[in-house]
C-alpha cells in the first residue's frame, strides 16, 4: 500500500464535522437543544480552523523544501 502525506487540515475538518454530527444527533434525541445560532458559528469556526491548519501545513512544507534544496 502506498503511503499518503499527513493532512492536518483534513483531520481537523473531520473532527469538526464529527462533533457537529454528534451535536445534531443529541439535538434530535432531545438530550440537548442546539439552536441554529449556535450551529452556524461552530461550523464556520471549524472551517476557519481547518483553513488555518492547511495554511500552516503548506507554509511548513515550503520552508522544509526550501531548506532541503539549499542544503543537499
Residue 25 lies in a domain: no
Range of the domain at 49: 9-19+45-72
List % helix, strand, coil for the chain (3-state, nearest 5). 80, 0, 20
Residue 68 lies in a domain: yes
Q: The whole model's pTM is what?
A: 0.78
Helix/strand/coil for 32: coil
Kindly report, residue by residue over 6-43, the tens digit of the pLDDT.
899 999 999 999 998 998 999 999 998 888 888 889 88
Count of structural domains within the chain:
1
Residue 70 lies in a domain: yes
Residue 30 lies in a domain: no
Residue 33 lies in a domain: no
Residue 53 lies in a domain: yes
Using left for φ > 0, alpha for ψ between -120 and 50, and beta otherwise, residue 30 falls in left
CA distance 62 to 72: 16
Residue 52 lies in a domain: yes
Amino acid at each position: 500500500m502506498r503511503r499518503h502525506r499527513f493532512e492536518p487540515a483534513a483531520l481537523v475538518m473531520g473532527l469538526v464535522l464529527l462533533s457537529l454530527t454528534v451535536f445534531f444527533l443529541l439535538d434530535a434525541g432531545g438530550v440537548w437543544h442546539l439552536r441554529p445560532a449556535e450551529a452556524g458559528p461552530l461550523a464556520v469556526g471549524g472551517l476557519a480552523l481547518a483553513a488555518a491548519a492547511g495554511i500552516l501545513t503548506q507554509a511548513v512544507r515550503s520552508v522544509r523544501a526550501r531548506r532541503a534544496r539549499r542544503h543537499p
